[in-house]
Chain A
Amino acid sequence: MKKKQLRIICPNGHLGFAPTKEESFWIGAETKPDYYCCDSGSDDIGPGPLGNDTSVSPYEWQKHDLELMLVASRKQGVPMMIGSSGDTGTNSRVDMYVEMIRDLANKHHLPPFKLIYFYSELDKAHLRRKMEQGITIEGLDDRKNLTLEELEQTDRIVAMAGVHPFIKALEMGADVIIGGRSSDAAIFAAAAIYEGFPESHSYYLGKVLECASFCAEPYMAKESVIGTITHEDVKVTAMHPNQHCTVASVAGHAMYERSNPFYEYFAGGTLDMTNCKYEQYDEKTARITGQVFIPTQGKIKVKLEGSGKIGERYLGIVGIRDPYSIRNIDKVIEWARSQVEERFSGKEYQLFYNIYGKNGVMGDLEPVKEIKSHELCVIVEGVAPTKGMAEEVTLIGSRQIFYARLPEVKGTAGTAAFVIDGVLSAPPAYQWTMNHVIPVDDPMELFKVYETTVK
């Protein structure tokens, strides 16, 4: 029989990135939602974690958040669905989350359950063959189509799963789904579509739930919200005692982190929110109608994220208090740069100065040109092919601020204050080499699904 409504809880906008707040989670869990869903990734964290295959979220926080969801969902016997495991959704992160689930099941003596996990990582050679067959990897956000050269510069690629692998896993009878890189909204949409609800409301449900309490007010992160879908509408309710989902907060959330508030793109179609109607349903709940889903005409396109290594990296921290040096900071930096260039002329390296107190946060976008601070902090970033060279580039670039040759400087015993006399090893520097889409014949072709029983 077709369900009249479905309720999904989202405890966290990015599982593990900061721990889920427990009070509102348990308030939500007590209402017995039909699904427990959460995304655990973001491209906000920069290209380093994907390239380097690491997490930025601490292991203990990730496990804490999984534990809450696993214990609550297994107690009720309803599905739990996780996308973008471990911040990046690479295979190693999926494996890590699968192990965490096994550990937690053991810890809580849970009865056996079916765990389905899928990988989103894409082999470079596979993509090269596709490109050699003449398939265009189309650039997003004004990027050009992918070249073989750019592919070569890429170290790791993930494909962004839409609803398809999640629906497949539910069809296989999953109790727990651990996903590779996924579109956050698709996790929730998949549950609703699988349960027979219209695509329009299902995708909107995902769109509004994916950041948890960010769709409520006042501003509080990591609190649970519950979305309710029917065949006619979507409703979203804040679980924290002091939070409310209002017309303003929910409409405002539609535009969060997107360049356009009217359209949201998925592998398989576009959610059109142009004619969305927002109403206050009750004190804590907003109701949304009018959303439309437009399926893709022709081949489905799957988004790809790729990260490529630029080099090894060190950071230097330099304080400046001398007013004459502050007034002439550009000359000071020019001197330090010249000393690095003198040592490494013709070699491949990159050197950056973030000058806090001048334009350290906004760089070229900073409209305030006059330095008003009595002290400056300069972060020196040196990138080079080897660790040794990166360290030396950064060390010269930092220490030569101390030796800057300004004609009228009074402090001739050094014009830089160091926290430590040295530079700090930083994670290697990476760059987003791919923000593209690939056309596919079958939306499952880039995702491998595996099944196991956790005993």
Chain B
Amino acid sequence: MKTKKLVELAKTIRSKNAGTDKITFDIIFREKENYDLMKKSKVLTKQTIAKLFNIPEERISDFVEFDPAFAIKFTIYRKQPSGSPGETDVFGCQQYPPLLDIEIPVEQ
């Protein structure tokens, strides 16, 4: 099956703090077709996200398909609140890169 990387299909792929205790991830598509393709593929689910980041599913607080923005959004709990000793990313804005290379089937 032919696949494309998410980085080729999505307009925006980002991560950012959602308050002090969570990091939220946004994947936004410019074209509805690509958004639908992504939704239909079921490549991104709570299970696959947990596997990708090597975390238990309980650490994923939300998984939302947000049609008005052609966007998929999920949120994970931090292990420690942002900016605690040992912090590596106080804004949580550099946690998305593993999403870039996810392969999405584009043809049946």
Residue positions of A touching B, CB distance < 8 A? 43-48, 140-143, 247-248, 251-252, 254-262, 276, 278, 305, 310-311, 313, 350, 352, 354, 360-368, 381, 383, 429-432, 435
Contact = CB atoms under 8 A, between A and B. Distances in A.
Contacts of A248: 11, 28, 30, 69-70
Contacts of A256: 16, 26
A254 B67 CA distance: 12
B90 interface: yes
B66 A255 contact: yes
19 contacts: A43-B19, A44-B90, A45-B90, A47-B84, A141-B77, A142-B21, A142-B77, A247-B68, A252-B69, A252-B71, A255-B66, A255-B69, A256-B16, A259-B24, A259-B62, A310-B84, A362-B98, A365-B98, A368-B98
A261 B73 contact: yes
Contacts of B91: 44
Contacts of B87: 46
Contacts of A252: 12, 26, 28, 69, 71
B62 A260 contact: yes
Contact of B54 (A254, A260, A365, A435): A365
Given A248-B69, A261-B66, A361 B84 contact: no
Interface residues of B, number: 45
A435 B85 contact: no
A361 B20 contact: no
Interface string B24-68: 101010100000000000000000000011110000011010101
Interface of B: 11-12, 16-22, 24, 26, 28, 30, 52-55, 61-62, 64, 66, 68-71, 73, 75, 77, 79-91, 94-95, 97-98
A44 to B, nearest CB: 5
Contacts of B61: 141-142, 259
Contacts of B81: 47, 431-432, 435
B53 to A, nearest CB: 5
Which 9 pairs across A and B sit closest by C-beta, in order of nearness? A46-B83, A251-B69, A432-B81, A259-B75, A352-B86, A141-B21, A251-B68, A432-B20, A259-B18
Given A365-B55, A367-B52, A257 B18 contact: yes
Interface core residue of A44, A48, A254, A383 (most chain B CB under 10 Å): A44
Contacts of A310: 84-85
A252 B73 CA distance: 10
Contacts of B86: 350, 352, 381
A118 B82 CA distance: 27
B82 A432 contact: yes
Contacts of A247: 68
A356 to B, nearest CB: 9
B19 A365 contact: no
B85 A255 contact: no
B73 to A, nearest CB: 5
Nearest to B66: A261
A410 to B, nearest CB: 31
Nearest to A261: B66
Nearest to A219: B12
Given A45-B90, A432-B21, 11 more contacts: A43-B19, A43-B20, A141-B77, A251-B69, A256-B26, A258-B18, A262-B66, A362-B98, A365-B95, A431-B81, A435-B20
Nearest to B52: A367
Nearest to B16: A257
A368 B95 CA distance: 12
A348 B52 CA distance: 35
A432 B87 CA distance: 12
A431 B53 CA distance: 24
A284 B55 CA distance: 42
B85 A313 contact: yes
Nearest to A353: B86
Contact of A381 (B22, B53, B75, B85): B85
B19 A140 contact: yes
A349 to B, nearest CB: 10
Contacts of A142: 21, 61, 77
Contacts of A429: 84-85
B87 to A, nearest CB: 7
Contact of A141 (B19, B64, B73, B80): B19
Nearest to B62: A259
A367 B98 contact: yes
